[in-house]
Amino acid sequence: MKHGAKAGGMLSRRSFTIGIAAAAIAGAARALEVDDDNAIRDILRQRVEVQKRTVGMAVCVVTPNRKRIVTWGRERLSDSRPVTSETLFEIGSITKVFTALLLADMARRGEVGLDDPVSRHLPSDFRVPPRDGHEITLADLATHTSGLPRWPLLSGDAPPPQAAIEAMGRLSLEDFKAWLANVHLPQNPPAAGAWWYSNVGYALLGMALTHRSGRSYEALLQARVINPLDLRDTTFNPTTAMSPRVAEGHDPDLKPRPPFEGGIFTAAGALRSTPRDLSRFAAAILPGSGSPIARDEALLLTVRREAKWLGGVQALGWEVLDAPGGAFVNKDGVTFGQTASMVFDPDRRMAVVALSNTHPDLRNATLSGGGVGAADIARHLLRPQIPLG
């Protein structure tokens, strides 16, 4: 999940703006990078070896006819095992896209309605506050327009201390329900209009879908998304056999960080996955893929709500961001020690995934993707006019 200057999967992004001349120069200089594995490898090498912004990275470039994975660096600072297509990374808030796919799948099957009040699908002891006199719906939660805050037990939008966020991963369900019952939502969240990024909202959405289905979130996701796409290494709980391939997280100073534990916020940002699995997932979401989730993915982008802070609009799970070269679909993930970004262009039928086993340095955040992490690389490879951070 994200935290920091953004209210987003977790950083606030304004509209991308660069000068016309700068865009032309950047586009001419970088236009071939996405088709040149050596050029991509050099970007990763620079980030790891020269800038020393991370320990290890992977990039996936996916089109209908080809999946390419480029890696550089190590899985852990303490040993020499290189990052490979089988390295397990924390993907943070990209988990929200998987949760939104579950919502779309259940809506398509008639098990829920997008405009159903969330209270209809929760246990009777949940008390969900109204928003502007109206009940919060499933679509409100999935588009961050419920008014619920980013985290529970905290007020405002200032980034909470890391220790407080980690403590929330251990928050009990009973404490969460008690907090929720006493929340009073503002009529209009400050400076954001109706959009207000909320990990709470996605946690609540996951709880509603699991209660309606009668299955755990993990079992539901496994049956509806992970197994149909044969994502063998996409999981919340790596097995003993997977453990040697799990990437260690690092802070911006490259000090090791413990794994992120989502607790009751699992549906908001606790998935781990590999470049191989994510390239398969990226191929499945491209228009015309014919994949088992194709109809659900198409539904995600049919719902769009204004999101001033994004520099675009919010769909179900995905963000649609304005940028030089044309709007694109985006989702970022940031945990305490890792970053991930997935972007795609439906018209060009092309997707890019970037992964890093280090938390970005938010002291040097850029408009092109929340610090020098993974997002700026993914954006740049999809839209060369967007400069690297």
Give the tens place of pLDDT for each residue, 277-287.
999 999 999 99
What are the pLDDT digits (tens) for 189-213?
544 458 889 999 999 999 999 999 9
Tell me if 143 sits within 8 A of 300, measured CB to CB.
Answer: no
- Classify residue 114: in a domain, yes or no: yes
We report the CATH number of the domain holding residue 182 as 3.40.710.10
Task: Please state the three-class secondary structure of 1-58 as a single string.
Answer: CCCCCCCECECCCCCCCCCHHHHHHHHHHHCCHHHCHHHHHHHHHHHHHHCCCCCEEE
pLDDT at 156: 52
C-alpha to C-alpha distance for 249 and 118, rounded to whole angstroms: 35
Distances, alpha carbon 102 to alpha carbons 40, 120, 172, in Å: 33, 17, 24
- Classify residue 288: in a domain, yes or no: yes
Number of domains within the chain: 1
- Classify residue 9: in a domain, yes or no: no
Q: Greater confidence, 217 or 163?
A: 217
- Classify residue 122: in a domain, yes or no: yes
Tell me if 209 sits within 8 A of 268, measured CB to CB.
Answer: no
Of 17-21, 85-89, 108-112, 142-146, which range is least confident?
A: 17-21
pLDDT at 22: 38
- Classify residue 287: in a domain, yes or no: yes
C-alpha to C-alpha distance for 354 and 377, rounded to whole angstroms: 7
**Phi, psi at 57, each rounded to 5°:** -145, 160
Closest CA to 59 of 70, 67, 49: 70
- Classify residue 232: in a domain, yes or no: yes
pLDDT value at 112 more than 50: yes
Stated pTM of the model:
0.88
C-alpha to C-alpha distance for 148 and 130, rounded to whole angstroms: 10
What are the pLDDT digits (tens) for 237-285?
999 999 999 999 999 999 999 998 889 999 999 999 999 999 999 999 9
Q: Could you tell me the residue range of the domain that residue 63 belongs to?
A: 20-318+342-382
- Classify residue 330: in a domain, yes or no: no
| Strand ranges in the chain using DSSP code E only, listed in sequence order | 56-63, 66-73, 89-90, 249-250, 256-257, 272-273, 305-307, 312-314, 319-321, 328-334, 339-345, 350-356
pLDDT at 152: 85
User: Scanning the structure block, which residue is given the tokens 């405002």?
Assistant: 156
pLDDT at 1: 52
- Classify residue 337: in a domain, yes or no: no
The confidence band for 175, taking pLDDT boundaries of 50, 70 and 90, is very high
The confidence band for 155, taking pLDDT boundaries of 50, 70 and 90, is low
- DSSP, res 75: S
